[in-house]
Amino acid sequence: MDKLRYARPYSLSDTPTKYCAGCGHGVVHRLIGELVDELDMRGKTIVTNPVGCAIWADLYFDFDSVQPPHGRTPAAATGIKRILPDHLVICYQGDGDMAAIGTAEMIHAANRAEKFTTIFVNNAIYGMTGGQMAPTTLVGQKAATAPDGRDPVHAGMGYPIRVIEMLATLEGTRYLARGALNNAANVRKTKHYIRKAFEAQLAGIGAAAVEILSPCPTNWGMDSVEAMEWLEQQMIPVFPLGEIKNELGGLK
């Protein structure tokens, strides 16, 4: 077990990363890979990863994957899970994909209590396409399409969307949590949240999602250390961490 703890999970391939220095996607991949191994589900796991930085996920996971069009990941995951109910189906999405073009699919899938697990990586910006403002961009945060910072009132840019809190109002959701990658303690907590979401799916309880606050140093215009500090000081107060909704009953 100690050897596995410090080595690459079997569910991750030995592939050089395409992600920028300091990006959080690699850490999220590691957590998912560890849990798939620990749950002994490698042969029955399918990840759906859409356009955006998430589109590279299939390069690193050593299990099956499907790449849906941008925003249509929940629809694809719904079909896969209904056809293969004994599989662990992971809907891996970024904030632009899930909270913008894919909002309708996400909300209605959750409302129907579709039994896949959504992993929602929130870096508050469009990462792959050049740093445009995302639905989760903070008030005052600069982006390619908001060079003076997001102005919710005078520029009509609106406010950052708290996706997990919005999903919590739907009766079909059973487990919703938000973690972060800013330090080791929060990474461990995030893994715990993902485990519970996976176990909820395997128990057939209902819709489950884990949002993960993740740095994007390249598009934030920061180095890796500054990005982690900014995430802790600016993002976490807007997107509070913890279990937002837990209706798992006897599942602990």
**Distance between CA atoms of residues 205 and 138, nearest Å:** 33
Q: Which helix (H) or strand (E) holds 94?
A: strand 88-94
Q: Which helix (H) or strand (E) holds 117?
A: strand 117-122
Return the DSSP state at 68: P
Domains of the chain: residue spans and CATH: 23-246 (3.40.50.970)
The pLDDT tens digits for 154-198 are 889 999 999 999 999 999 999 999 999 999 999 999 999 999 999
pLDDT value at position 250? 66
pLDDT value at position 1? 52
**Distance between CA atoms of residues 194 and 211, nearest Å:** 9
| DSSP per-residue string spanning 119-188 | EEEE-SS-TTTTS---TTPPBT--BTTBTT-B-SSTT-------HHHHHHTSTTEEEEEEEE-SSHHHHH
Predicted model pTM: 0.95
Q: Do the beta carbons of residue 163 and residue 211 sit within 8 Å?
A: yes
Q: What is the pLDDT along the chain (252 residues), one digit of tens a residue?
A: 555 567 889 999 999 999 999 999 999 999 999 999 999 999 999 999 988 888 888 899 999 999 998 889 999 999 999 999 999 999 999 988 898 888 999 999 999 999 999 999 999 999 878 879 999 999 999 999 999 999 999 889 999 999 999 999 999 999 999 999 999 999 999 999 999 999 999 999 999 999 999 999 999 999 999 999 999 999 999 999 999 999 998 665
